[in-house]
Structure 1
Amino acid sequence: MKSKRLALYTFGIFRAPASDPVNQGFHDRNDRNFLIAETSEGFIARSGYEEEAGPESWGTQVFPRFYREQGDGWTPSTLSLWKDLASPMAFTYAGIHMEAMRHGREWFLKPAWPPYVLWWVDWDHKPAWGEAVVRHEFLHDHKASPFAFDFKTCFDEDGRPTAIDSQMVKQNMRLNERRQQQPS
């Protein structure tokens, strides 16, 4: 059994305030994206948000220094745990999430920062939002390392450079697609 699991933090900034009608396409997909992620192969858990129904929040939500207040005190970010590298990649680059990414320029500023960060945590550790922000900023400032990395330059749970198993990604994509086609 593996002794670690993969943490994933995502961060973006809307072009306009969250409630602006230009962002409606994002909001329309948001709940479905969470549901698909939560039923994806290799998904373990995700942090919720304080004062919102759903999963427990893993601490107070904070944002990286790149955050730009637009009068609503909010910006899209997620924090989740996965069993391996192939699993979040299979979710990210397929289905409704991939379709939403195609519209990203309509909703989000082009980032001068990484849109996400990955890192390994001990099996019994639940990363807090503050920890995620530290890793995210580190990736931006220092590039990929075992401390903070991305899908292009990734590391295994022992800190060694590795490549993502593309066959496993494809297999997970097929499993996820089958799960989405099953009646609820």
Structure 2
Amino acid sequence: MSHHLAQLNIGRLVADTDDPRVAEFMGALDRVNGLGRRMPGFVWMLEGSGEPGTGNTETKIDGDPRFVSNLTVWESAEALETFVFGTIHRQFYERRAEWFELLGERHFVMWWVEPGHRPTLDEGLLRLAHLREHGDSDQAFGWAHLKGAGAARAERCAPVAAE
């Protein structure tokens, strides 16, 4: 494939990152992110400070410390799909309602990038805004837009909650 797949997933925690209500999620960040970085097809991840147990939680959206983001690049949709639905990540994905507020709008977006491009959070947020306004397109899309994303189609929840 001549392009790589970028993805941005944002969420708003139900409590501050040091609150016991999100401790299990925060405690698993290093393990899950480390697994992602070792997966076949992984290319790049937007990193935070590198402090243990913080992931990328220091990156604030609209200055809100409870908004967290995950921005990664993968060689293919299949590689991302394998990580999301075929590893321990899936267990945390299935429990996301315990740690994250329901936003009531799409919070997950993917788009194609040239190999070597490292998207910024602002770029991802613009893609997400485009998806929210225009729906799936070649500029910004969810799992349903990808041909052959079988596990994702079978496993995803309602579009507002999952994408």
Q: Normalising by structure 2, what TM-score?
A: 0.80
Partner of 1:133: 125
Deviation at 1:165, TM superposition (A): 5.3
Identity %: 23
Q: Say whether the 8 Å CA contact 2:10–2:70 is kept in structure 1.
A: yes
Q: State the one-letter code of the partner of 1:53.
A: G
**Stretches of structure 2 lacking an aligned partner (at least 5 in a row):** 52-57, 152-163
Shift of 1:119: 0.3
Contact 2:6–2:111 (8 Å) recurs in 1: yes
What displacement does 1:115 show? 3.0
Quick check: 1:86–1:166 contact (8 Å CA) kept in 2?
no
Q: CA RMSD in A?
A: 2.1
Q: Does 1:122 align with 2:88?
A: no
Name the larger-Rg structure. 1
- C-alpha change, 1:141 and 1:37, in structure 2 (3 Å) is same
Structure 2 counterpart of 1:107, from 99, 111, 118: 99
Contact 1:86 1:165 in 2 (8 A): yes
The equivalent residue for 2:43 is: 44
TM-score (norm. length: structure 1): 0.71
Runs of 4+ in 1 over 6 A off after TM superposition: none
* Cα offset, 1:108, TM superposition: 0.5
Conserved? CA contact 2:9–2:69, under 8 Å: yes
Q: Which amino acid aligns with 1:143?
A: G
Which stretches in structure 1 are left out of the alignment for 5+ residues? 55-59, 155-162, 168-184
Partner of 2:148: 164
